[in-house]
Every structure is written in C-alpha cells, then in structure tokens.
Structure 1
C-alpha cells in the first residue's frame, strides 16, 4: 500500500513528481512545458497542486518523443497537441516513453543531411540534459545503426560531448552530472558496437592502446578500440592512466605493430615515453621487431617524433593502422 501513492494511475489524477519519475524527466521540465507551451494538467487539487489525467500524460509523452527527434520544444508542443486532437497519440498505457525512439525520417539508402544530423545532435543533447538515460542510450544506438560506428562518433557523439562540455564550463558545476552520464552511455555504445575480440586473428601481432600516465580521458581511445574491433583488427586495450612500466611490459610481451599513446592534455603527454617505446624491441637477435608509435590526442600538439604516426581524426587513425595489417582479409578499410 505504501507504494500506491507513487504509481501513476487513473482516478483523481497523477502528481507532477510521480509523472516525472514515470517519464524519466525532472519535475521542473514538466512545469516549464506547462508554463511556456500550455502542456499542463487540466485539473488542480484544492491546494492548487497539479493533477495529471490520462489525456494530459499522453500529450507530454508525445512531447518527449518529439523532442528526442531534435524538434524545437515549441514546435514539438504544437505537434503533440495536434496529434492528440486527431487521435493519433497513444495513451499512457502504451508503455514507457523513454524507451521509444522515433525511426529515421530519411530513407535508408540516402546519405544524412546536415539538417538531419543537427536534429540528431539536438535530440541527444536535450535527452542528456534531462538525464533521460533510456532515450540517450536508444538515440546513441540508433546513431550507430544509421551512420556506422565511426560516423556516429564523428558526426553525433563528439559534437554533443563538446556542446555539453561547453555548457558545463559556462554554467560552473551545474551540468557535471550530464557530462558524466552522457560519457558513460557513449562508452557503453562503443563497447557494444565493437566486434568480439575472439574474432580477431590470434596469430597476428596486435595494436596496443594506452593512455599516457596521469591521463584519465580515455573516451577517444575507446572509440578507436571499438573501430578496430569492428574491422577485425587485433588489439590490446589498456585504458586510462597506464603506468610507464605497464606500457613497456605490454609492448615487450605482445610485440605490437602499432602502439597508440593517447594524451588529451599537454601536461600529460610524455615524449620520453614515446621515444622509449619507439626504440623498444623484442624477438631473437637478427629478427628483432619494433613498433610504430601513434601519437593520439591534442596533448601532442607541437611535438614531433621521427617515424611516429600523428592522425587528427578517428577515420585517419583507422586508415593508418590498416596499412600495417594487409593480411587481415575481412578488413573494411575506410575511404
């Protein structure tokens, strides 16, 4: 009986707090939609508290669906009311809105336009700001399906991560939780999109991927790892803040063809480490091998290492790695 008061149901109506929990949005979002667009409850209790009927709930559910496609809130509100009047809006019993993702508006065989990609980014940004985790995950999964893993990273994930980061910087610490949640779901999506490591040829020397010591920003390295996995290229991913001794040991034990060192900030980039790895060797005398070092990330800006690879984008990094693995037959090298 104690849980009944938090469960949206028919009868006297649903409180704003209970409806917000059902939809996965903040109560202030519902109040804002009521004040700006008139998407509020038709009835109030004796104490002037909002009580949402089934019809009211259907309208705001449709509002959530439409804003997740990237429509401006004012346009989404107008369309939600029109769909309710025409009877095309599903009732609140149709299931949780936060797991419903609109299908792509364009035909599958057509390239995305700048406007359609911008709508995707806006929808993802709004869902992240609402802390609507199910919609964030669904939109990211849909982006990978629509653009491919590399395209989704370049066209959707990176722009939205940058936009959220700028919002955080401008507003102090108010949006830290938004950036953390979005980053976690991007990481989860990248892991899901990568192929099983068991599918990579076991006898081919791998690519070693590691952040330099003290570097915690590993998301771009995860994107490269996922892209390599998707292309069937062997790899060993070591993640954030890898100690010097650990990177060196990994290189000696695996004999990689390429070592990727990621540095997001100039303060973490370590040229002595890069030089040491470029000079590292393994194997018996007369047949010793050495890796090619790839310097990834803005932390290496203005620094050079003879023979090192220095890509500036994910597709460029993927293409450069491909050149070291001609025997991987199922590779789909990017154009």
Structure 2
C-alpha cells in the first residue's frame, strides 16, 4: 500500500485514520482490541491519536489482508515486523492503484485520496466502509464536487478494469454502483408537499440503463430546492411523452450513455411539445445529457458536459420563463 502523508506529529483521530485507509472506524477499533494494533500513546482524556508509525502498522495490516493473509496472522506480521508469508513474486504496483484480494489494481492516477479509499473498500466488498466513505465525501466536499472529483473517478476506474479484464470483477462494479446510488438517495431531501411549478423531468432514453448520473443530478436539484421528477432507466417513448404532457416541465433532461441509444428525433420531438392556452403556449427546455450525444448534437438544445454545468442550466430554466412561452 502506498505511503500516506500525515499532517501533524500529534497524530490523527480514529475516524480520520479510517478514512485514509478506506475502512470503517469500527474496523480500526476492532484491530486495536483484538490484535493490539492501537496507538502507542494517548492524549489527555479518552481521545486516541494515531502517529505515522501507528498508521504504518495499520497500512501493512490492510495490505496483507487484501492479499488473502488471515487477519490474525496479518496483525502479528504488522505488529511484530515479521516478514510476510512467502509467495510468488508479483509485478511492482504502479502509483495510484488500489489492490484487492486477487491482486487486481484500479488505476486512479492523481485522483483525490478519497478515491483510493473508495476503491479499496469496493475491492474488498466492504459495505460499512463504503457507505461511510461516500457519506463523508458528500458531507465534506458537497454533492457536486464529491460526484465529479471522488465518485466519478472511482466508478470510471472500476469500469475500465471490468472492460479490460474480460468482464471479471463485475461484482465490484455492481457493488460500488449500488452503494453510490444509496448514498445519493440519502443526500436527497424530500420534495416539499404541493411543489409542482417549474419542475424538471429526468429520464434515460429508451434502451439506456445507466441511471447514476441522473440520480446525482436529481439529488443536486433537490438540494437547491428545485422540484424534480426522476423516471430512471429505459423510459419508453410513449411513457416519456405522456409524462411530459402531464407535468408540463420547465426542462427535460434526457440521458444517453451510448450513441446507440441517443435519439435526435426523440429529443427534437420532446422539445417541440407545447401546452397551455392559445397565445401563451409553452414548451420545455430539453437537455441532451451523457456521452451518447457526442457527435449527435441537436441544434438549439444544450448539451452540458457535467453535473455542475447541467445544474446551472436547470437552475436558470426553473426561474426564467422568457424562453418557454410560444406566441401564436
């Protein structure tokens, strides 16, 4: 495991150490109680502070358990400085990677430190740690920054590993995606009762099942107090058109991950839909979202490249009616 920089000689709290290692705080406490891997010294009171030497032992514990060494044996090696069990020589680990039990690596480059913790927790299929790290990232950085700089880089690294390994490690991708979805829902405030004006409608185009980016946008809109209706994966065309008619949205976001699912005629048809009384007809602003629209730009329809840009466009659409009325 790559070395970690430590900020102060006084040491770090148990929670901070857990985030750095990508494990749950209860795991760190358990290793202390069961195997004697606690900090060498204590501060006044009951607070426990971990020094660089203490954390180095925990790093070795993590590294050994992720390669299949039983926890008790890994703790003895980490505590006593014993050599690890003999095993075939492995290729040197490249910087920025996170290894799992099978020795697989996720290349994360210069991503934030939190990405490496997420990757390690995902590779271990460690649900408590993953939930804690995701919740902490959103709380510490805000949803938009956490999505763009922590969650997305980790998801992309997992996706690259899946694609390059003959579809091995599918369980890691599904596991991480499910926990990301759960964290986004936890961060989404409830929609106030009776709120329906200037709603944004979000849906994946027919045949498209990648919903996580829309879930992130749903949570971001809700956090800004903007009403949103999320319809999820593979929305059938007729159902999508009916939802637009019934809600009269200020904006519609259509997500396409693949060029094979992006449909210019569908986006143009939704953008042309009108409702309201004669002389004050209205139509929605349609956003083409996702990489599937690359090379299929629809004239007059915005294609924001990321979550922050999509949020900015939709916040403007929800408060500016000057674009939507259609005079007749």
Structure 1, residues 255-294: CA drift from partner, whole Å, max 9, x if none? Answer: 1111000000000001111010010011121121100110
Residue 59 to residue 185, structure 1, CA distance change in 2 (3 Å): farther
Alignment match, 2:189:
195
1:124 aligns with 2:118: yes
Aligned to 2:135: 141
How big is the shift at 1:208?
0.5
- The residue number in structure 2 matching 1:305 is 298
1:58 and 2:45 equivalent? no
**Unmatched segments (≥5 aa) in structure 1:** 1-24, 26-53, 86-113, 328-335
- Judge conservation of contact 2:198–2:227 (CA < 8 Å) in 1: yes
- 1:269 equivalent to 2:255? Answer no
Alignment match of 1:174 (pick from 168, 175, 181): 168
Alignment-derived partner of residue 319 in structure 2: 326
Partner of residue 238 from structure 2, selected from 224, 245, 251:
245
- 1:140-166 residue CA offsets vs partner (Å, 9 max, x unmatched): 001011101111101110000011111
Q: Structure 1 residue 150 and structure 2 residue 144: aligned?
A: yes
In the TM superposition, residue 198 of structure 1 has moved relative to its aligned partner by: 1.9
Return the offset for 1:72.
9.7
Task: State TM-score, norm by structure 2.
Answer: 0.66
- 3-state secondary structure, aligned to 1:323: helix
1:170 deviation in Å? 2.2
Change (3 A) 1:279 1:77: closer
Query: Over aligned residue pairs, what C-alpha RMSD do you find?
Result: 3.3
CA distance in 1, matches of 2:257, 2:78: 47
Write the distance in 2 (CA, Å) between the matches of 1:71 and 1:234.
49
Structure 2 stretches lacking a partner, 5+ long: 1-22, 24-30, 40-49, 65-74, 81-108, 321-328
Equivalent-residue separation in structure 2 for 1:281 and 1:196 (angstroms): 29
Tell whether 2:238 aligns with 1:222: no
1:73 Cα deviation after fit:
4.3
Q: In the alignment, which of 314, 320, 327 is matched to residue 307 of structure 2?
A: 314
TM-score between the two structures when normalised by the length of structure 1: 0.65
Asked if the contact 1:292/1:307 (under 8 Å) is kept, the reply is no
Between the aligned partners of 1:263 and 1:166, the Cα distance in structure 2 is 19
Shift in Å at residue 58 of structure 1? Answer: 2.6
